[in-house]
Chain A
């Protein structure tokens, strides 16, 4: 079996989001995706003062459970995530590691009082997922605001990004893959 990226639903999340995300990663990155048995809502990571989930605690748990022989192990959740120094996070990953985690919570147009738009939501989810995979392959943040490796601090940044790597990041990625 060729190596693939495992996508692991965490907590309650619509299955069509997972299906469409897998199709998106396969199409854009040419990497096979497989669904991994879902994890329960990570109550251990809930912070009742922030009403949010500590993303690093969830990532730690994922690192413990990371299956062998894969290109990536990505958790996808609809829960609102944070790290202590930031107000919220869209996603995070191990740099040069295989585990990553993304949240759809703040990617949903409904959160910004906009009408439901599943294409926009999926485009944001796809960009966030590929960005985190980029970290897993060892890419760091890029200064080019159109590059997918640009660090989004607000949703406008995500919408402004193209769903692809800039030429510099692409070169770096090719080099990293050669070294792997």
Chain B
């Protein structure tokens, strides 16, 4: 299985948010790969829309920019039937198709069919995901100390990618390049190259073998990996030549969560080194640590965490 959800998708440089496509807001790009239930912005917008409805019900006319917010469904339903795109088209997964169901996806046969078909071709999303101080570690994935992962798939091949920690540490990447199909990779060698603006770094291969397929989307849109590090953001498929040996140097289950835990502590120490003792108390690290604290220095982060 070497097709991916991202390849099924129509290629688009930008992914406009559903709220923007419906015309409720002027400009908003999607950073959640159209996983609306997971999206905070979607939640806030829905709440605002509901608030406005209840204000109107009680006879108050909400004003200003905020007062004009209605749900994206309501806005699209105001259009004539022939101008109502299916939600799967808006998410860039299919060619144009009309919605005949007034956006009641729950009772739409096409939606059911589409979801089934889509999941066959899509990379299986990890089900059991551990949370280590806010960083994700899915079960069944093997981790290399240089923050790459490997997952054994059917027909004696493995899938390789970059972990959530490295991607959030270095922030949205412009480009991720794997060696070409047919090339050889070696465990612990810097075979993967990543770039963000003028900053570049290499990442270590978790196993040795021959590259059989690469995720070419990452050449133009490295950010896909930031959005889905363990599924659509995979980097390459490899036919390993000494998997049993290689696995001895990889971590799984408790080992990988203990390792990640220590890496987060190490990151806190690195931050204290450049910014003084942390006296902020609160949540987990956000999605772009380097971008928000460039004094951490790209080169140093690569050396300490990517080991390159």
In the bound complex, residues from chain B placing their C-beta under 8 Å from that of A88 are 282-283
* CB closest chain-B residue, reference A134: B279
Which residue of the partner chain, among B279, B282, B284, B289, contacts A135 with CB atoms under 8 Å?
A: B279
- Residues on B with C-beta less than 8 A from A51 are 40-41, 44
Top 4 nearest A-B pairs (CB, nearest first) are: A89-B282, A84-B292, A87-B283, A88-B283
B271 / chain A contacts, CB cutoff of 8 Å: 85
Would you mind naming 24 contact pairs between A and B with Cβ atoms under 8 Å apart? A51-B41, A85-B285, A85-B293, A86-B280, A86-B282, A86-B283, A87-B285, A88-B282, A90-B281, A90-B282, A91-B280, A91-B282, A92-B280, A94-B279, A95-B276, A95-B277, A95-B279, A106-B282, A131-B281, A132-B281, A135-B279, A140-B277, A152-B282, A154-B283
In the complex, the answer to whether B283 meets A84 with C-beta atoms within 8 Å is no
Give residues of chain B (282-298) contacting chain A, Cβ–Cβ below 8 Å: 282-286, 289, 292-293
Whether A89 and B280, one on each chain, are in contact in the complex, defined by CB atoms closer than 8 angstroms, is: yes
Interface residues of B (CB under 8 A from A): 40-41, 44, 133-134, 271, 276-286, 289, 292-293
Which residue of B has the minimal Cβ distance to A93?
Answer: B279
Contact of A77 with B by CB under 8 A? no
Bitwise, A72-98 to B at CB < 8 A (1) or not (0) is 000000000111111111111111000
Check A85–B289 contact: CB distance below 8 A.
yes
Contact status of A152 and B281, CB under 8 A, knowing A84-B292, A84-B293, A95-B276: yes
Contacts of A82 on B, CB cut-off 8 Å? 282-283, 286
User: For the complex, is A128 an interface residue (Cβ under 8 Å from B)?
Assistant: yes
Q: Which of under 10, 10 to 19, 20 to 34, or 35 or more describes the interface residues of A?
A: 20 to 34
Q: Is A153 an interface residue (CB 8 A)?
A: yes
**B279–A86 CB distance below 8 A:** no
In the complex, whether A55 has a CB less than 8 A from a CB of chain B is yes
Interface residues of A in 24-50 (CB under 8 A from B): none
Are A83 and B281 interface neighbours, CB within 8 A?
no
Contacts of A83 in B (CB 8 A): 280, 282
Residue from the list B44, B276, B281 in contact with A151, Cβ < 8 A: B281
For the complex, is A174 an interface residue (Cβ under 8 Å from B)? no
Which chain B residues border A20 with CB–CB below 8 Å? Answer: none
B293: which A residues are within 8 A, CB to CB?
84-85
Cβ of A176 within 8 Å of any chain B Cβ, yes or no, is no
B279–A87 CB distance below 8 A: no
Contact of A141 with B by CB under 8 A: yes
User: Which B residues are in CB contact (< 8 Å) with A89?
Assistant: 280-283
Task: State how many angstroms separate the Cβ of A105 from the closest Cβ of chain B.
Answer: 10
